[in-house]
Amino acid sequence: MEALTSRAKAVDRKPMTFLERLYLWNILKGMIITFSHIFKKKPTIQYPEVKRPFSPVFRGLHVLNRDEEGRERCTACGLCAVACPAEAITMEAAERLPGEENLYREEKYAAKYEINMLRCIFCGLCEEACPKDAIYLSETFAPANFNRKGFVYGKDNLLIPNPTTQPEATAKAKGLN
């Protein structure tokens, strides 16, 4: 029969000789192997000080975006919630009142917008579904929390800081600095 791989090795069931039963030679070989590891490079990253960069396609926590004038882009159309396979998104719509044009870009906006990060699988389908470019997945992840409520992110957590009034915070949220 043809061997499946070139590295196949027949099992040797000969009884061990006296020298083999002393195990010394094999142990010595093993010790040489472990000793050589002393000089190997350590792949450890000292985590809180040094962070490993995420890959450019990393999908992390969501942000709700604003436009150049600092207005919220989301129009509460609900397409993201429909697209979401994990049903992690809920929202409540409200109508923009006169005088709020500098706050909301569209006539209808999301008064409440929540993503349950424990349900979310970070697939990014919400980002793809959004017709208004309002939701993006950033390159951070949800920090640990003591209770489940803490993982339901509302607008206060999701909304990106206003670029016109808080340019630095916006840059930070976008990971630009």
Partner 1 sequence: MTLLSLNIDWILLIEKLALIAIVVFASLGIALYTTFGERKVAAILQDRPGPNRAGPFGLLQPLADGVKMFTKEDIIPSSASKWLFILGPGLAMTASLMTCAVIPWGGTIELFGRTISLQIADINIGILYIFAVVSLGVYGIMIGGWASNNKFSLMAALRGASQAISYELAMGLSLIAVLMLSGSLSLGDIVKQQQAGWWNIVYQPLGFLIFFICALAECNRTPFDLPEAENELNFGYHQEYSSMKLGFYLFAEYINMIMSSAVMASLYFGGYDIPFVNDAELQTHLGNWVALFQVGTLLIKIVFFIFLFMWIRWTIPRFRYDQLMNLGWKSMIPLALVNMLVTGALVLLKMNNWHF
Interacting residue ranges for partner 1, rule: CB under 8 A: 18, 21-24, 27, 30-31, 33-35, 37-38, 40-44, 46
DSSP character string of 10-35: ----PPPPHHHHT-HHHHHHHHHHHH
What six digits make up the tokens of 54?
């995420």
Among 103, 129, 152, 159, binds ligand SF4 (CB under 6 A): 129
Among 61, 63, 76, 160, binds ligand SF4 (CB under 6 A): 76
State the nearest-atom distance from the C-beta of 47 to partner 1, in Å: 11
Task: Residue 141: count other Cβ atoms within 10 Å of its Cβ.
Answer: 12
User: Of 34 and 55, which has the nearer Cβ to partner 1?
Assistant: 34
56 binds, among ligand SF4, partner 1, none (CB under 5 to 8 A by kind): none
Distance CA 89, CA 114 (A): 6
**Are 82 and 129 in contact, with CB atoms under 8 Å apart?**
yes
What six digits make up the tokens of 42?
């350590």
User: Of 46 and 165, which has the nearer Cβ to partner 1?
Assistant: 46
The vertex-162 CA angle with 79 and 74, nearest 5°, equals 10
State the nearest-atom distance from the C-beta of 161 to ligand SF4, in Å: 17
Q: Tell me which residues touch ligand SF4 (CB under 6 A).
A: 74-80, 83-86, 88-89, 91, 110, 115, 120-126, 129-130, 132, 134-135
